[in-house]
């Protein structure tokens, strides 16, 4: 029963997260599209690649390992010790921000001040924003561990929308400010994000709702570091697991942001091309952020709660194992079909999407080829997110440590492949290298999952085998839309474009009907777990 309750809460969290992100980020999408028309490629490249890499690296290295370790704890743990451990992210963030700031200012190529003014201020502001965001880490882990449905998404979405509105206003009114605009917007973003969490918990703690849920924290003071006379200051089991995840996090960050490191440290493409690449990357990753990331984060919590880390299938509760296997199979099928849909239809609509989103700056040159390759990459992202979600939620500490060596080899291989493919095929080489990297990671996770369920009767990997009729529908739709693009898009006026869109819509509808008829088990799962709350509200 506890596993079923966790599944219902997890599905509710994932579906609500995806829906709210779509609603909020639709506004963000429009604001970004407007901003692109006022920026130079060089300024866009420095902000989106160089400075964002500084911020994301500092935040990731300071907190990712703590998040994974602290979300895996049981219900009986001491939250005071866990919160003390989480506060270590702040000094770590200060260290990484200072260290990376020095590298960014003194060891890397400095942009031309006449083209990209106020670079030094940008480095300082983005490093400071990383530290500000880490101040809310105890609140984030508490919210995620207790499956607070809307807090995380609303906080992130409000902060992103606020950042975009401020950026648009400043870009339109004071374009000469250069990087001052994005520095202020970034600091505003992290401040709003942390404030949302603090305000929520200030109202929630001590309320009747918190008492009813037996929430382990009763006052705001408990969210600060506490010295406990009768208990250990830190949860040392979580601390040791954190160290294992930290070694892995460093390597995972290289794999996640590898192309930006190659761009930043090896100068394989100029700042202008970096700006176009990042804009295409942001557009191509919309589905990954809207759908795949909420599913991965939410169901990581589900698998970590339902399965006991480090135990084999025979030693687990068999009802929980059955549920975990069934959920994993259906999740794999769900993200696979979403990824296939993006890959098939994204190929023929890449140029049109870029022209609408950013104008000729993106739709000309290498932009369309980049987005076409990225559509394929989304398929790899989809499968990798769910397979690694299960793998990391069920691995024991020793298995995590062993996987660090795999990540080390992958990191080195990925950086080498990125460098040579970029020399050979420009910025498209980055996406091809990412596809290779994700393919290897998927293969490793599939091998682990196969071994995990080998001694049971469950075969969740069958979720990666779609119906043959559905595969045929994808092939036919892909061929029709490719020919439609050649005849009607994208320099033949809006009438021809509308014809192309209509043909794509008909193909998409036919594919969807085929999906509903052939994948009935998945349809029932989505309807019962993800859509049931909205259907109940409608009735």
Segment 481-516, tens digit of pLDDT: 999 988 887 777 778 888 899 999 999 999 999 999
pLDDT at 474: 95
* Cα–Cα distance, 83 to 525 (Å, whole number): 36
Output 6 or 150, whichever has higher pLDDT. Answer: 150
Token pair belonging to 222: 């408990």
In-domain check, residue 154: yes
Residue 159 and residue 251 in one domain: yes
- pLDDT at residue 136 tops 60: yes
Does residue 367 share a domain with residue 337? yes
- Please indicate, yes or no, whether residues 287 and 305 belong to a single structural domain of this protein: yes
Kindly state whether residues 71 and 9 are assigned to the same domain. no
Domain tally, the chain: 2
Burial annotation 123-144 (CB, 10 A radius, 16+ → b, else e): bebbbbbbbbbbbbbbbbbbbb
Asked whether 63 and 28 are in contact (CB, 8 A), the reply is: no
Across 146-160, 321-335, 495-509, least confident range: 146-160
Task: Clarify whether residues 24 and 105 are in a common domain.
Answer: no
Distance between CA atoms of 48 and 27, rounded to whole angstroms? 19
Half-sphere exposure of 527 (CA within 13 A, CB side): 7
Residue 28 has pLDDT above 70, yes or no: no
Cα atoms in the 13 Å half-sphere on the side-chain side of 487:
11
- The mean pLDDT of 36-41, rounded to a whole number, is 72
Count Cβ atoms within 10 A of the Cβ of residue 360 and give its class: 0-12 exposed, 13-18 middle, 19 or more buried: exposed
* Residues 27 and 46 both lie in one domain: no
In the predicted model, is pLDDT for residue 16 greater than 60? no
Summarised one tens digit per residue, pLDDT across range 268-301 is 777 877 877 877 877 777 777 677 877 887 788 7
Q: What is the pTM of this model?
A: 0.70
Residue range(s) defining the domain that contains residue 208: 38-256
Domain match, 138 and 83 both: yes
Sign of CA dihedral 231, 234, 235, 240: negative
Tokens of 409: 């080899």
* pLDDT value of residue 534: 43
| In-domain check, residue 485 | no
Residues in Cβ contact with 401 at an 8 Å cutoff, skipping those fewer than 6 apart? 244, 247
- CA–CA dist 76, 490 (Å, integer): 60
pLDDT surpassing 70 at residue 146 = yes
> Is the per-residue pLDDT at 413 higher than 80?
yes
DSSP 263-325: HHHH--S-HHHHHHHHHHHHHHTHHIIIIIHHHHHHHHHHHHHHSPTT--GGGS-HHHHHHHH
Question: Band of the pLDDT at 229, cuts 50, 70, 90?
Answer: low
Is residue 496 one of the residues assigned to a domain? Answer: no
**Which of 400, 433, 462 lies at the terminal end of a domain, its last residue?**
462
**Angstrom distance (rounded) from CA 400 to CA 389:** 13
pLDDT tier at 74 (50, 70, 90 boundaries)? low
Place of tokens 């949860």: 235
Retrieve residue 448's tokens: 């682990």
- For the cut 90, the answer to whether the pLDDT of residue 195 exceeds it is yes
Q: Is residue 491 part of a domain?
A: no
Q: Domain boundary at 415, 431, 462, which?
A: 462
Per-residue pLDDT tens digits for 425-446? 778 888 888 898 889 889 989 9
> Are residues 23 and 165 both part of a single domain?
no
Q: Encode pLDDT of 237-253 as tens digits.
A: 777 778 777 776 776 77
Angle between helices 236-256 and 52-70 (to 10 degrees): 150
30/44 same-domain check: no
Cα–Cα dist 59/88, whole Å? 12
- Among 424, 440, 462, residue at a domain's last position: 462
Measured distance between the N- and C-terminal CA atoms of the chain, rounded to whole angstroms:
26
Residue 472 falls within a domain, yes or no? no
The more confidently predicted of residues 208 and 360 is 208
Question: Which comes out higher in pLDDT, residue 413 or 75?
Answer: 413
More confident residue, 191 or 534: 191
Q: What share of the chain is helix, strand, coil (3-state, %, to 5)?
A: 80, 0, 20
pLDDT at 537: 47
Instruction: Indicate whether 240 and 312 sit together in one domain.
Output: no
- DSSP conformational letter for 136: T
For range 32-58, the mean pLDDT:
81
Query: Rounded to an integer, what distance in angstroms lies between the CA atom of residue 136 and that of residue 84?
Result: 13
Do residues 279 and 233 share a domain?
Answer: no
Round to whole Å and give the CA distance between 51 and 45. 9
Whole-number Å distance between alpha carbons of 32 and 128: 23
Residue 503 is assigned to a structural domain of this protein: no
Q: How far apart are CA 289 and CA 279, in angstroms?
A: 15
Share the mean pLDDT of the chain.
82
340 and 427, same structural domain? Answer: yes
* Closest residue by Cα to residue 122 from 179, 58, 164: 179
In a domain, 322, yes or no: yes
Residue 263: inside a domain:
no
């Amino acid at each position: 029963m506890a596993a079923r309750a966790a599944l219902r809460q997890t599905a509710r969290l994932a579906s609500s997260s995806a829906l709210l992100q779509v609603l909020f980020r639709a506004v963000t999408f429009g604001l970004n599209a407007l901003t692109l028309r006022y920026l130079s490629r060089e300024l866009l490249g420095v902000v989106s690649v160089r400075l964002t890499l500084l911020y994301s690296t500092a935040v990731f290295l300071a907190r990712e390992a703590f998040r994974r370790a602290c979300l895996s704890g049981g219900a009986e743990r001491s939250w005071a010790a866990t919160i003390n451990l989480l506060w270590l992210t702040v000094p770590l963030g200060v260290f990484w921000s200072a260290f990376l700031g020095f590298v960014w200012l003194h060891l890397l190529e400095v942009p031309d001040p006449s083209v990209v003014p106020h670079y030094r201020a940008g480095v300082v502001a983005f490093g400071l924003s990383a530290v500000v965001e880490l101040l809310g880490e105890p609140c984030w882990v508490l919210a995620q561990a207790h499956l607070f449905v809307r807090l995380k998404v609303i906080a992130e979405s409000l902060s992103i929308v606020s950042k975009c509105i401020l950026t648009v206003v400043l870009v339109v009114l004071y374009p000469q400010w250069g990087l001052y605009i994005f520095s202020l917007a970034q600091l505003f973003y992290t401040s709003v994000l942390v404030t949302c969490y603090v305000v929520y918990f200030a109202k929630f703690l001590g309320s009747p709702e918190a008492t009813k849920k037996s929430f382990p924290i009763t006052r705001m003071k408990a969210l600060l570091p506490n010295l406990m006379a009768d208990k250990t200051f830190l949860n040392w089991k979580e601390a040791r697991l954190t160290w294992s995840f930290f070694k892995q996090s460093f390597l995972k960050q290289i794999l996640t942001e590898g192309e930006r490191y190659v761009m930043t440290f090896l100068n394989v493409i100029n700042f202008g091309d970096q700006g176009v690449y990042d804009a295409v990357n942001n557009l191509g990753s919309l589905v990954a952020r809207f759908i795949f990331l909420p599913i991965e984060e939410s169901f990581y919590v589900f698998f970590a709660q339902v399965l006991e880390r480090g135990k084999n299938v025979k030693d687990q509760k068999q009802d929980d194992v059955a549920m975990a296997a069934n959920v994993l199979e259906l999740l794999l099928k769900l993200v696979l079909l979403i990824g296939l849909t993006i890959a098939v239809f994204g190929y023929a609509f890449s140029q049109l999407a870029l022209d609408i989103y950013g104008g000729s700056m993106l739709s000309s040159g290498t932009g369309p080829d980049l987005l076409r390759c990225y559509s394929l990459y989304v398929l790899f992202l989809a499968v990798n997110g769910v397979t690694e979600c299960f793998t990391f939620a069920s691995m024991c500490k020793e298995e995590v440590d062993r996987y660090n060596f795999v990540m080390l080899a992958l990191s080195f291989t990925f950086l080498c492949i990125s460098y040579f493919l970029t020399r050979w095929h420009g910025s498209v080489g980055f996406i091809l290298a990412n596809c290779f990297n994700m393919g290897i990671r998927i293969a490793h996770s599939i091998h682990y999952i196969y071994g995990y369920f080998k001694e049971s009767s469950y075969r969740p990997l069958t979720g990666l085998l779609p119906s043959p009729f559905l595969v045929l529908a994808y092939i036919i739709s892909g061929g029709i839309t490719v020919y439609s693009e050649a005849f009607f898009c994208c320099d033949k006026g809006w009438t021809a474009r509308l014809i192309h869109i209509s043909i794509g819509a008909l193909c998409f509808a036919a594919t969807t009907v085929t999906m509903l008829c052939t994948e009935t088990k998945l349809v029932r799962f989505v309807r019962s777990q993800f859509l049931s709350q909205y259907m109940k509200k409608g009735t």
